[in-house]
Amino acid sequence: MNFPLLKALNRKPALFEKGELHFWDDPYIAQRMLEAHLNPDVDAASRRPEVIDKTVEWVVGTLKLRPGDALLDLGCGPGLYCQRFAAYDLRVTGVDFSQNSINYAHEHDPATRYLCQNYLDLDLDGVFKAVTLIYGDFCVLSGDERAQLLETVHQQLKPGGYFVLDVSSMAHFENRPAERHWSVAESGGFWKSADYLELFERFRYPEQQVLLDQYAIIEADNHVSIYRNWFQCYSPASIESELATKNFVVRGVFSDLMGNPYTPDSEWIGILAQKM
């Protein structure tokens, strides 16, 4: 047993330290991610279809979007939201870094514009009435990346346009204690097609209100891959303050993106922010 390796894996990472880069391009993981997006029975990579339906209906109605209005969906995955927005005759652009998801979106929604690229570096035409970033994607980014994203969104919105997003709340942070466990995945696990040992650990960073779910994957040949899911958690005041640094004003705070009133025990905060 490689005790130095296990000791290294037990180290608490620096805040927003990267794990495996671009793992969504791994053909096996990309396919498993797509399956998770399309699974209608669980809130995994995407939320369930009925929640997506209500979210799209609420966003369109609340923002009074009209046929021909331009909407940009960041982190669009296989286009589940884009397809529904397009049904309202909006001019929809979806952006995602997974070529596998974009290929699926193109195949099933050829009339919508889909782009496979990093949404931190978009250079589009700045004509969007609304930009959406749904299911906590904002929370996985470091502080510098979030600042860059907000600048990008601001540039892409028309004057008075809206940025719609949801973030993990302080209730989300408090409800997830530090923990660790291990398991053996037989052929066909989420991360690898062959057998592997999974060492899971959740790290907490209380001063920054950040959580990390870390998956250390050890294969039979002792090759190690480390996958990290970061969660920056917020209060309504802290997300409002962060958005204000990049000239957004919050027009609505909710417990989700279906318009339900915000309560302190909600694990999500839905935000309607307007470009100043």
Distances (CA, A) of 200 to 42, 55, 102, 180: 21, 32, 29, 5
Q: With b meaning 16 or more CB within 10 Å and e meaning fewer, what string describes 185-210?
A: eeeebbbbeeebebbebbbbbeeebb
Return the pLDDT at 42.
Answer: 85
Name the pTM for this structure: 0.95
In CATH, the architecture of 42-168+234-275 is 3-Layer(aba) Sandwich (3.40)
**Please, which residues bridge with residue 234 across strands?**
169
**CATH 3.40.50.150 domain residues, the chain:** 42-168+234-275
Q: Which of 6, 16, 5, 44 is nearest to 212 (CA)?
A: 16
Tell me the per-residue pLDDT of 115-158, one tens digit each, with 9 for 90 and over.
Answer: 999 999 898 989 999 999 999 999 999 999 999 999 999 999 99
**Predicted local confidence at residue 25, as pLDDT:** 81
Helix (H, G, I), strand (E, B) or coil at 2: coil
Tens-place pLDDT, residues 171-230: 999 999 999 999 999 888 999 999 999 999 999 999 999 999 999 999 999 899 999 999
pLDDT tens-digit profile of 245-267?
A: 999 999 999 999 999 999 999 99
Average pLDDT over residues 10-27: 90
